[in-house]
Amino acid sequence: MRRDTVPRLLLLVPLLGLTLAMAGCETLDALNPFAEREKPLPGARTPVFPEGVPGVDYNQAPPQPANSTYGMAPAEPAPAPAGSPSGAAAPSGQ
């Protein structure tokens, strides 16, 4: 290792730690001293659906997504009726 790489690595370690700490922050708004705070709009706040959203049954389980069976074994095919052929006829070899 060259002689000048050790000081560079020692400078890189705190920089990397600071970068990881900043990545864990949800927002960086508190770090900007020049940011203006947004004022809430004037007016009364009332709920849009005070009795709940119409058409939603909260006692029912939520529907499953269309791809909820991805990766599972395919369902077994239904048995063929008794009078129908069981598949394509084997070609006769000449």
- pLDDT tens per residue, range 34-51: 767 778 889 999 999 988
Structure tokens at 88: 């394509």
- Residue bearing the bigger pLDDT, 15 or 36: 15
Which residue did the predictor score with more confidence, 54 or 23? 54
Q: Distances from the Cα of 11 to the Cαs of 20, 43, 54, 62, in angstroms? A: 15, 52, 59, 52
What pLDDT digit, counting tens, does each position of 68-81 carry? Answer: 777 777 667 767 77
